Amino acid sequence: MKKNLLLLLFAVAAVSVKAQTLTNGGKLRPEQAIMDIRHYTIALNVDFEQKSIDGFTTIDVIMAQPTHVLLFNLLDSLGVSKVLVNNKPEPYKYKNNLITINLNKVLPAGKASVQVFYGGKPHVARRPPWDDGFIWTRDSTGHQWMSMTAEGAGGKLYFPCKDHPSDEPNEGVDMLITVPKGLVVAGPGLLQNVTKHGDKATFHWKTNYTINNYSIIFTVGDYAVVTRQYTTVGGHTVPVQFYVLKEHLDKAQHHLDIFVKTIHEQEKYFGEYPWVKEKIGIVETSYLGMEHETMNAYGNKFRYIKVGGEDYDEVMHHEFGHEWWGNKVTAKDWADYWIHEGICTFGDALYIREFDGEAAYIKLFQNDVFHIQNKTPIVQHADMDEESAYIGDIYVKGAFFMHTLRYIMGDSLFFPALKKFVTSPKYTYDNLVSTNDVEQFFTQEEGRNLKPLFDMYLRTTDKLEVHVKQTKLDQYVISLQNIAIPLPVDVTTSEGTKRMMVNEKGVTIVSNTLPVIDANTFYLKKVIIE
């Protein structure tokens, strides 16, 4: 989602100025807890002169219980003109970013369809993608260019919804977006058709996959569509579509060459691309980037760095990694946001390892240690909202945790386990996950309880304490005092470096020099010389 490691401090600073209302998640309201969202249809006309939208959203739900009240989130920068429930008008109130529908008679449990007619000027982003909203601008040739981000604000930025990470529309979304003729709309899933009427055109985008609210996004510009066919690791042929501004068309083929390398690399570690029945998509945006399912926002302006001697786009690689970590594997509570950002950021490091080598990968994490703030645990408490959960450590410490886990388990166990998690039906698509799920899974794969390690890295700000006690002129005892499981540690003595299992009791080693502990920085640690 929001950033890569280089932008970490910049982004964290931006968070503090966000408006309080532009967040989502937190404690689920009881009126919404009994509601299962199945599908959204969003039909909007976009007026570029007025910077406004106008139309309706239809919400298909299954109610677990009969109810008198239906509750949907929508930022009250907009106006609602009519609400229909199962095609009948119903009274509603619209304030505090909530539409409260007080039904004329009890709605029975089961399927229901709610249609909300609305419009107005949606909230404008001040500093996207760290600050959410619509972005109205023009490209350098003067064409209208509109995009949006909503990870913090949530879907309620511009459509009425149940704005909580625990519920996605399991049957997907239809988007019918009308724009002035000549402009092109990019969206999730597959383009069904374009209908022209007068000086306008309606683009119908449709995804059948479950999708998070902040991926339900459309982008409008003077786009050309550059396509390729990609064969996945599972043997599926999937179209790659790049919605690139016409003014940058000459850059598209090289960009896709780089992108294909990114797709291969992510598939190698995380398994087949998750949305093979639809497409692999990127769309050029005026902001840096965001992981919108099957249509990732790309705004890094073709600024590449060299990895393995070849061009690499770290923003695109990161956002695309979220197709697995965030979109396919989704945390049901923002408290567990590190699963999206930490593991995705670890995936970025794996690209460096693949093409620049293990030493470059080690160096990356040795530098990252200095960016870990460790002010609060990365898993704070249940029912977090997005803004409160969004701290820099979910990226850098979350990634570092995976680095530590890799060292502890060893590559022959760790990499297959990581792929097994992200390809297991139990933890993907409709089945949302928590930190406990990750902990229990890796505990099972490792064959011993890893809870003390998960607790230390994720639920506290503690660091591993490694004690080094000299017992004779050339003899030392190495021990771990603040964790209840033995762990492997690299110990460098006058004889060289050995990996040894260390526990509370300690291991005795012989060395003519003071032993160096964990020289390659596999742990977030404190070394205490006694």
Q: Choose between 1 and 80: whose C-beta lies nearer to Zn ion.
A: 1
Question: What is the closest distance, in whole angstroms, from the C-beta atom of residue 1 to Zn ion in the complex?
Answer: 4
By C-beta, is 390 or 427 nearer to Zn ion? 390
What residues form DSSP beta bridges with 428? none
Residues 6+ apart with CB under 8 A from 493: 509, 510, 511, 512, 513, 515
Q: Is 146 in the site for Zn ion (CB under 5 A)?
A: no
Residue 92 vs 269, nearer CB to Zn ion: 269
Give the torsion sign (CA, 123, 128, 134, 139): positive
Nearer Cβ to Zn ion (151/272):
151
The smaller minimum CB distance to Zn ion, of residues 152 and 221, is found at 152
Asked whether 134 and 51 are in contact (CB, 8 A), the reply is: yes
Question: Could you tell me the maximum CA-CA distance found in the chain, to the nearest angstrom?
Answer: 90
Do the Cβ atoms of 172 and 208 come closer than 8 Å?
yes
In 3D space, the residue among 215, 156, 223 whose CA is nearest the CA of residue 22 turns out to be 156
Q: Which is nearer to Zn ion, 1 or 402 (CB)?
A: 1
Please say whether the beta carbons of 355 and 310 come within 8 A: yes
394 binds Zn ion (CB under 5 A): no
For residue 270, give the H/E element and its range.
Answer: helix 252-270
Binding of Zn ion at residue 335 (CB under 5 A)?
no
Residue 1 sits in the site that holds Zn ion (CB under 5 A): yes
Residue 339 CB partners (closer than 8 Å, separation 6+): 325, 329, 331, 398, 433, 435, 438
Is residue 5 close enough to count as binding Zn ion by CB under 5 A?
no
**Of the listed pieces 57-65, 134-142, 340-348, 410-418, which binds Zn ion according to CB under 5 A?**
340-348
Stretch touching Zn ion by CB under 5 A, among 156-164, 337-345, 384-392, 517-525: 337-345
Q: Residue 430: which residues within 8 A CB-CB, separation 6 or more? A: 168, 170, 210
Distance from C-alpha of 220 to C-alpha of 9, rounded to nearest angstrom: 30
| Binding window for Zn ion (CB under 5 A); candidates: 118-126, 270-278, 307-315, 336-344 | 336-344
- Piece of the chain touching Zn ion by CB under 5 A; list 274-282, 334-342, 413-421, 501-509: 334-342
98 near Zn ion (CB under 5 A)? no
Q: CB 440 → Zn ion: shortest distance, Å?
A: 25
231 burial level (CB within 10 Å; 0-12, 13-18, 19+): exposed
Residue 310, SS3 per DSSP = strand
User: Does residue number 343 form part of the binding site for Zn ion (CB under 5 A)?
Assistant: no
Of 341 and 490, CB closest to Zn ion:
341
* Identity of residue 302: F
Q: Is 339 in the site for Zn ion (CB under 5 A)?
A: no
114 touches Zn ion (CB under 5 A): no
Residue 406 C-beta: closest distance to Zn ion, Å = 20
To the nearest whole angstrom, how small is the minimum distance from the Cβ of residue 332 to Zn ion?
A: 18
User: Considering the rule CB under 5 A, would residue 307 count as an interface residue with Zn ion?
Assistant: no
> Which chain residues interact with Zn ion by CB under 5 A?
1, 341
